[in-house]
Amino acid sequence: MRLTKTSFLTMALVLGAGMAGNAQPAASSNVDQTVACAGLPSHAQLQAALTWARNQMNGGFNLDMWGTVVNRDGVVCAVAFTGTNRGSQWPGSRVISAQKANTANAFSLPGLALSTADLFSAVQPGGSLYGLQASNPVDTSVAYRGDSADYGQWNDPMIGGKIGGVNVFGGGLALYNKQGVLIGALGVSGDSSCADHNISWRTRHRLNLDFVPGGVGPDTARPDNIVYDITPAQGVMIGVSASGWGHPVCSAAAVTISQSLPAVQ
């Protein structure tokens, strides 16, 4: 078939329209953010609380952090960082923070909070939740879409999307409001996993979203706190957790700090 200039341009326009129709939608078009994220911290509130928590002694390497908030449906509502720009903290921790938020939300209930730190031992071979870490993969089309210049800003491209993912070390905590309602979760990443937990805990407290009803930890004042009860065992490289919810020790300082974190409300 012989193509005229007019028919060629028409075909190009049709193809272009089709490609545009398949392009990744802007984050704001996914959901009504006003409704989906009601009661959750804004970008500015998250950044302020995260920065305050990061500047405390946390038992880690004193590194800048990423933080993400998701709602009860796992929709990303806010993403922020504490450094001067998006390269001031590990770039890979942006998605890890979102993964942690998704995990804490996905495996917490109105009456039982599970932090990501609680899951470490349970997902090891022979653990009660072995295989959980492979159950809900990150949606990479949400994680890496959009302009990198917007990462960690009020309009981060992850916002409005369901990130998915399961993370099984410290840094993810469920969010409960003053009415004791589970409204989503917070994920923090950028330092050692133990420091991430301490920073996340302080961030949640600063946001006044720590009305936690209960958890699996032995400390009733901190029911979803990180548990350090792994002891060496022959033939088990990571050791054995007495409770089944233990997390490895990153530093003695992180352990001490975790024991004096603010009690939940």
More confident residue, 229 or 32: 229
Assigned domain for 125 exists: no
Lowest mean pLDDT among 16-25, 58-67, 127-136, 215-224: 16-25
pTM: 0.88
Assigned domain for 207 exists: yes
With CA atoms as reference, report the closest residue to 157 among 72, 86, 106. Answer: 86
How is residue 212 written in tokens? 């936690």
- Segments forming the whole domain that contains residue 188: 32-110+132-212
How is residue 240 written in tokens? 């054995």
Mean pLDDT, to the nearest integer, of 227-237?
A: 92
Distance CA 89, CA 51 (A): 12
Local confidence band at 237 (pLDDT 50, 70, 90 cut-offs): confident
**CATH code (residue 144):** 3.30.450.150
Assigned domain for 249 exists: no
Distance CA 34, CA 28 (A): 10
Distance CA 128, CA 169 (A): 16
Q: Mean pLDDT across the chain, nearest whole number?
A: 90
Assigned domain for 264 exists: no
Assigned domain for 188 exists: yes
pLDDT tens for 240-257 read 999 999 999 999 999 999
Based on the structure, what is the number of domains in the chain?
1
Which residues, listed in sequence order, are joined to residue 46 by a DSSP beta bridge?
A: none
Assigned domain for 74 exists: yes
Assigned domain for 161 exists: yes
Contacts of 55 (CB under 8 A, 6+ apart): none
Mean pLDDT, to the nearest integer, of 205-218?
A: 98
Assigned domain for 265 exists: no
Residue that the structure tokens 């009415």 belong to = 179
**C-alpha distances in angstroms, 130 versus 17, 127, 244?**
46, 5, 12
pLDDT at 195: 98
